[in-house]
């Protein structure tokens, strides 16, 4: 039967639902509480501002990218506060430093990537050194080359560096080679400008102890260790990262003092203490390394490496 008012009778579902003043459907003829309305409005606002938040995130990401680019430009010397010295201030050294990359098959990929960062640091430091050395990479290939191709395509444009796929013994005459290894009984007192010093490109966490020393003996080439024990007492092992050895030599060429070179470069974590002439401990090293570490700091190395794209 039709309603006398002329309106259709409400169905059970219609009678069980009503709308609040805001137009929201509320079950059981119940109106929204203030808290519920506030929550609902907040949710609506959140949905409405979704695109705005997305745009803001994109803008912040772009700003961070520009900041990184500006920092890299300053490190390359492109900006007014760049750290790279003008060419007129640099006096190139005739000393040759080679990084032997023939240990590729002995490393895990994570350690290969650490070696890659250490090499980047060597390149960056040599480019802004007061007495840059003749820098060589030898036996480049395998995992290391793949990492460099993937992570830093600009390496093919690096300047003032000689990169060879051949072994170092095929690049430099054997009688001119001196392999730097902490296992050698010989100690470098003075750097011979006529020699080519080899640094083992290996990050192995001491899994292959003495391997570079053994290979040097097998090849019949000279070998020696830096005079670390004569100037520094260390809490940890004497094995240093590739970039540490490289930077110590650069610092020695600049300062003319092994002790100054060691304390300029050695990271604080190694607990280095200077040794006086009578063999006693004289002072603790307070110089803080710039985030450089043989097992970490991939991000720090990224900030300092120079990529020449031209």
Tokens representing residue 298 in the block: 């991939």
Contact 139, 102 (CB under 8 A): yes
103 vs 216: CA distance, rounded Å: 13
Measured between alpha carbons, how far is residue 194 from residues 199, 229, 310 in Å?
Answer: 16, 25, 32
Q: Coil, strand or helix: which one is 131?
A: coil
Residue 220 sits at the vertex; the CA angle it makes with 232 and 190, to the nearest 5 degrees, is 35
Contact between 98 and 168 under an 8 Å Cβ cutoff? The reply is yes
* Annotation says 192 is catalytic: no
Burial class of residue 3 (count of CB atoms within 10 Å of its CB; 0-12, 13-18, 19+): exposed
By the 10 Å C-beta count (0-12 exposed, 13-18 middle, 19+ buried), 18 is classed as: middle
**Is residue 216 packed enough to be buried (19+ CB in 10 Å), middle (13-18) or exposed (0-12)?**
buried
Q: Which of 152, 160, 183, 204 is catalytic?
A: 204
Contacts for 234 with CB less than 8 Å, ≥ 6 apart: 228, 266, 270, 271, 272, 273
How many CA within 13 A on the CB side of residue 279?
0
Listed in sequence order, the residues at least 6 apart from 57 whose beta carbon sits closer than 8 Å to its beta carbon are: none
Enumerate the active-site residues. 204
């Amino acid at each position: 039967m039709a309603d006398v008012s002329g309106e259709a009778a409400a169905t059970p579902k219609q009678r069980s639902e009503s709308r609040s003043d805001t137009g929201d459907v509320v079950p059981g003829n119940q109106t929204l509480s203030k808290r519920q309305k506030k929550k609902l409005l907040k949710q609506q606002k959140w949905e409405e501002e979704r695109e705005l938040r997305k745009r803001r995130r994109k803008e912040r990401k772009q700003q961070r990218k520009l900041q990184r680019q500006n920092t890299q430009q300053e490190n390359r010397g492109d900006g007014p506060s760049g750290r790279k010295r003008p060419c007129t201030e640099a006096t190139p050294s005739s000393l040759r430093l080679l990084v032997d990359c023939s240990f590729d098959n002995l490393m895990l990929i994570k350690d290969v990537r650490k070696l890659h960062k250490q090499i980047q640091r060597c390149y960056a430091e040599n480019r802004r050194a007061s007495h840059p050395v003749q820098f060589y990479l030898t036996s480049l290939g395998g995992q290391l080359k793949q990492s460099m191709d993937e992570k830093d395509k600009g390496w093919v444009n690096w300047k003032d560096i000689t990169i060879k796929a051949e072994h170092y013994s095929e690049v430099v005459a054997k009688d001119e080679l001196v392999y730097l290894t902490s296992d050698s009984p010989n100690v470098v007192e003075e750097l011979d400008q006529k020699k080519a010093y080899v640094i083992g490109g290996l990050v192995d966490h001491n899994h292959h102890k003495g391997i570079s020393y053994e290979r040097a003996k097998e090849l019949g080439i000279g070998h020696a260790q830096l005079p670390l024990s004569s100037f520094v007492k260390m809490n940890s092992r004497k094995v240093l990262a590739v970039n540490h050895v490289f930077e110590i030599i650069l610092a020695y060429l600049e300062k003319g003092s092994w002790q100054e070179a060691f304390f300029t470069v050695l990271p604080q974590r190694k607990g280095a203490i200077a040794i006086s002439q009578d063999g006693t401990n004289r002072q603790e090293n307070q110089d803080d390394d710039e985030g450089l570490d043989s097992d970490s700091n991939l991000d720090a190395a990224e900030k300092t490496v120079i990529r020449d794209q031209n």
